[in-house]
Amino acid sequence: MGRNLKDANFIATTALPAAGASNASASFDLGAGAFKPEEMELQVILPATPNLADTKNVALTIKDSADNVTFTAIAGLSTIVVTGSGGAGAAAVTETIRLPSTTRQYIQLAQAVDASGGTNTGVSTTFQLLF
C-alpha cells in the first residue's frame, strides 16, 4: 500500500526551465542519523506540456547529496522522460517512487528541456515526499 500523508515542508513546485536549459527544485533535508528513506515515497507530478515540440524531451532526475551542495542522480532510479509528439506536446505524468535505503540526506529534482523544445516555462512540476 502506498504512502499518502503529505507535509507542506516537503512539497516543492518549480517551473520548467527554458528550452536548452536546466534547473533544480529546492532540496529536502531527510535528516541525519537514523532516518530511513525506504520508509518514504517521493511523488513527481508533471502537468501536460502542450508546448513541448515534437521529438523534444523534458527530463526529470531525482538527485541526492551528502552536503546539500553537490548532487548526483540516485543509483537505481530512472530519469523520467516525456517526449512531445503529434503537435500536442506531452501528456501529464505522475510517478511515485520509493527511495532506496542508500539515499543520502538531501534530495532534489533536476529538470532539463531539450534545445528547441518550445516554451514550457508556464508549466511547473511538483516534487513531494509522502509518508
83-110 residue pLDDT tens: 999 999 999 999 999 988 889 999 999 9
50-68 residue pLDDT tens: 999 999 999 999 999 999 9
CATH number of 6-130: 2.60.120.1110
pTM of the model: 0.93
Query: For residue 2, which phi and psi values (nearest 5 degrees)?
Result: -75, 160
Domain spans of the chain, in order of start: 6-130
State how far the Cα of 100 lies from the Cα of 77, in Å rounded to an integer. Answer: 8
